[in-house]
């Protein structure tokens, strides 16, 4: 059903533009969010494509997100990497935000490695720490699967019992242990933002069962799961969200904490890639 929908055509047009420019697309995609942007320097880039040259790709309006799709090699593995992403708080719908994931899945990626920045609510977490996302809560009030289902992409009611497959998480944990990098594991809750939370909201979100809170990732992961793409996701804790001792935080603080995690994250990713 719905093969002729406008959204389907938009995804197909984006996928065609990527395939035209890159030729064959590798089976691993990476979203270099806040915290992994530094990793782009480690990629041996063969080709790059500006989001503005891919029809339907939302352009990020956030200064820390570049907006370039890279084709290259990292740790001997061919990858396609999104340097930057769009967010719902920028005014994009969850369907627009996730169009790049749909397009990459249509191009044939089988694994998606995601990174993001988040506020840590688990009292054991510190700014600059990294958490492997074990599970998520969608609190955005949006769902990228709303509307008619495109059956050729995936089922109407996709299963979400293990959206970050346990075997991939085990590989990520093994890599962290080998490299002696501290890696937490826990639940990410997504909100729209863009304001950070009040003390009462952090208290509530933590009680709801989340360890960290952020403004991205969950729509992308829902779409990846819908299309049968397996996900492994790392969250960089950029601020400590403990209601009783909460301090004001600026975007500069967030970026500085993310930069501290860039090196260990890059090392883990390089070690993980050949095992995927
Ligand atoms: N809240 C929501 N999103 C975030 C935060 C936060 O405290 N830190 C980084 N992204």
Bridge partners of 77, per DSSP, are 74
Does residue 111 line the site of ligand 1, with CB under 6 A? no
The string of pLDDT tens digits covering residues 147-158 is: 999 999 999 999
In this prediction the pTM is 0.95
Pseudo-torsion of CA 185, 191, 193, 198, nearest 10°? -80
The string of pLDDT tens digits covering residues 6-48 is: 999 999 999 999 999 999 899 999 999 876 777 888 899 999 9
Does residue 196 line the site of ligand 1, with CB under 6 A? yes
DSSP H helical segments within the chain, as ranges?
A: 6-22, 94-107, 166-179, 199-207, 218-226, 251-272
**Distance, CA 201 to ligand 1 centroid (Å)?**
12
Does residue 189 line the site of ligand 1, with CB under 6 A? no
Does residue 150 line the site of ligand 1, with CB under 6 A? no
User: Domain of 199: which CATH number?
Assistant: 3.40.50.1580
Q: Contact at 8 Å (CB) between 168 and 212?
A: no
The string of pLDDT tens digits covering residues 72-114 is: 999 999 999 999 899 999 999 999 999 999 999 999 999 999 9
The string of pLDDT tens digits covering residues 199-247 is: 999 999 999 999 999 999 999 999 999 999 999 999 999 999 999 999 9
Total structural domains within the chain: 1
Q: Is 132 left (phi over 0), alpha (psi -120 to 50) or beta?
A: beta
For 112-152, give the secondary structure using H, E and C.
Answer: EEEEEEEEECCCCCCCCCEEEEEEEEECCCCCCCCCCCCCC
Could you list the residue range(s) of the whole structural domain that residue 99 is in? 4-275
d(CA 193, CA 120): 15
């Amino acid at each position: 059903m719905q093969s002729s929908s406008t959204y389907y055509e938009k995804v197909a047009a984006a996928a065609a533009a990527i395939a035209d420019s890159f030729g064959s697309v590798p089976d691993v995609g990476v979203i270099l969010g806040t915290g992994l942007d530094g990793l782009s320097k480690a990629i041996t880039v063969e080709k790059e494509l500006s989001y503005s040259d891919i029809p339907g790709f939302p352009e990020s309006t956030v200064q820390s997100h570049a907006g370039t799709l890279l084709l290259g090699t990292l740790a001997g593995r061919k990858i396609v990497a999104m340097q930057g992403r769009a967010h719902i708080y920028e005014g994009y719908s969850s369907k627009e935000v996730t169009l790049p994931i749909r397009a990459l899945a249509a191009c044939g990626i089988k694994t998606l490695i995601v990174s993001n920045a988040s506020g840590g609510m688990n009292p054991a977490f510190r700014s600059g720490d990294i958490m492997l996302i074990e599970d998520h809560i969608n609190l955005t009030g949006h769902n990228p699967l709303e509307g008619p289902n495109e059956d050729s992409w995936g089922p109407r009611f996709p299963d979400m019992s293990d959206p970050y497959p346990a075997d991939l998480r085990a590989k990520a944990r093994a890599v962290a242990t080998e490299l002696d990098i501290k890696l937490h594991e826990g639940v990410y809750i997504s909100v729209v933002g863009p304001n950070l939370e009040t003390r009462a909201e952090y208290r509530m979100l933590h009680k709801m069962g989340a360890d960290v809170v952020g403004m991205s990732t969950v729509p992308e992961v829902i779409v990846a799961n819908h299309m049968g793409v397996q996900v492994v996701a790392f969250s960089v804790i950029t601020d400590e969200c403990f209601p009783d001792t909460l301090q004001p935080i600026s975007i500069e603080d967030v970026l500085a904490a993310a930069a501290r995690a860039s090196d260990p994250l890059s090392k883990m990713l390089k070690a993980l890639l050949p095992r995927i």
